[in-house]
Amino acid sequence: MNGLLKDARDLAAGLRKELGDNAGGPEVLVCPPFLALEAVHQILAGSPIRLGAQDVHWEAKGAFTGEVSPAMLQEVGVAAVIVGHSERRHVMGETNEMVNRKLKACLAANLQPILCIGELLEERNMGVTREVVERQISKGLDGLTPDEVARLVLAYEPVWAIGTGKTATPRQAEEVHHYVRKLITQRAGEAVGQGIRILYGGSVSPDNVKELMAEEDIDGALVGGASLKVDSFVKIARYKS
């Protein structure tokens, strides 16, 4: 919930200018607030930068005041949706069961879900990080086939590292990513487990992205505050250069 419509337009235009010819670079996706989706879609049309949304409701329509359906998102060019972000879980009270329903709704509508998982600081201090992410994955993916799981992107975001300036060390992040890949392999098979993309989110910046991305099981970044400025986001997208 940052910026107004002009800010979203300016950011999208800046990203298109810098990353509009991103041949050979990483896939780039931006997820502006709902009210900016159509404007950003118009600016990014014809570019390789994909458009995503920050949340979605699981019902197609009905008396769900304030919610947004998969079809509404598709109508403004959305291709992917963040599901189960830590703030939705821990600030808005979203449960694993709600996350599961949203994942199924996205898949049914051919929207790519980006499933967020991660532990609170007290959970890490208690040594139960693996139990937390295993529960989030098990309940979140309940009822999904291996082919459906293969259509997901996962994002590990330790809640204690979001917006705090604290970042999991590359080794800490890799340990969880490796474990998550193992869980997906057990659930959906070797091909899906090895092929699924697992992003890291948690105070990713131009200063730490290169060492994070050097880890074997970290496939990309779910960028937070650094995505609000063209310069910092572009540096992250171009971390190899």
Looking at residues 194-221, what average pLDDT do you find?
A: 96
Q: What percent of the chain has pLDDT over 70?
A: 99
Q: Which of 18, 94, 119, 157 is catalytic?
A: 157
Please check the confidence at residue 23 and state whether its pLDDT lies above 70: no
Question: Is residue 196 within 8 Å of residue 186, measured between CB atoms?
Answer: no
CATH architecture of 5-237: Alpha-Beta Barrel (3.20)
Would you call 87 a catalytic residue per the annotation? no
Where in the chain are the domains?
Answer: 5-237
Answer yes or no: is pLDDT of 241 > 70. Answer: no
Average pLDDT of the residues of the chain: 95
Compute the radius of gyration of the chain from its Cα atoms.
17
Q: Name the one residue in this structure whose structure tokens are 């990353």.
A: 19
Residue 206 pLDDT grade (very low, low, confident, very high; cuts 50, 70, 90) = very high
Give the span between the Cα atoms of 211 and 101, in whole angstroms: 35
173 contacts 131 by C-beta, under 8 angstroms? no
Calculate mean pLDDT across residues 13-42.
93
How much is the pLDDT for 240?
80
Catalytic residue among 18, 57, 85, 119: 85
Annotation marks residue 177 as catalytic: no
For residues 74 and 109, is the Cβ–Cβ distance under 8 A? yes
Output 241 or 223, whichever has higher pLDDT.
223
Q: What does the alpha-carbon distance between residue 126 and residue 77 come to, in Å, rounded to a whole number?
A: 42
